[in-house]
Amino acid sequence: MPRDAPASCLAVVGLAAEARHARASGATTLVSGADGAWLSAQLARVSPDAVASLVSFGLAGALADDLRVGDVVLADAVVDGSDRRPVDEMRTERVAVALRAAGTPVRSGLLLGSNRPLATAREKAAARAATGALAVDMESHVVARWAEAHAKPFLVIRVVSDDARHDLPEAATLPLRQDGTPDLPAILICLVRRPAQLPALVRTGRDAGRALSVLGRVGRLLGPGFGVHL
């Protein structure tokens, strides 16, 4: 974001597909490629004067067993190591009210920020037991640090894309390209080496597609600025 840009809502996402839905809400968008170190470096270049507020927007992995693919999670705090970083309660509540009024149920609770994918059901269960978090993503903790450091309002809008009870196939956990798109050659090589993971990869892709559809609907329901005059 240029340092002389007018103050705006900055939506931080991991995937290019998530960015398309964020832009539809009129937000300036920063794609991390699910790389926390790169995201931190990019945020360090952003002028606080150019940012009115921040939204961590996109998909998340379930940690709670009762969350299902397509469920909407609004964080009431972000777990970042031993810290719990706050969100803007007023704006989060406005989002919750708007979505519920439109018939979209939401879950509120802790969200875990992680620097790596939690790929197995065992890892997810351990993270749930250790933190009490409902879900996990790879951007929110980095964004929360920046928002806290610069006293900017911050909220988290995430849609569950994988079930806590399922293991993710190796091919689904490979690093993304920097622009937030899958590294297709790397995925194909991984599949050739371990073809038995194909059914799980198909399921993972189907679930992600369903979650992205819900994410798009959420963006449309909330409208410009995610409906909270950010």
The residue ranges of every structural domain in the chain are 8-166+210-227
**pLDDT tens for each residue of 47-104:** 999 999 999 999 999 999 999 999 999 999 999 999 999 999 999 999 999 999 999 9
CB atoms within 10 A of CB 41: 10
CATH of domain 8-166+210-227: 3.40.50.1580
Residue 143 has a pLDDT of 97
Residue 223 has a pLDDT of 85
Whether the CB-CB separation of 135 and 159 falls below 8 Å is answered with no
CB atoms within 10 A of CB 39: 22
pTM passes above 0.75: yes
Give me Rg for the CA atoms of the chain.
Answer: 17
**pLDDT tens for each residue of 179-207:** 999 999 999 999 999 999 999 999 999 99
Q: Hey, what are 221's tokens?
A: 């329901």
Nearest to 99 by CA among 230, 196, 226: 226
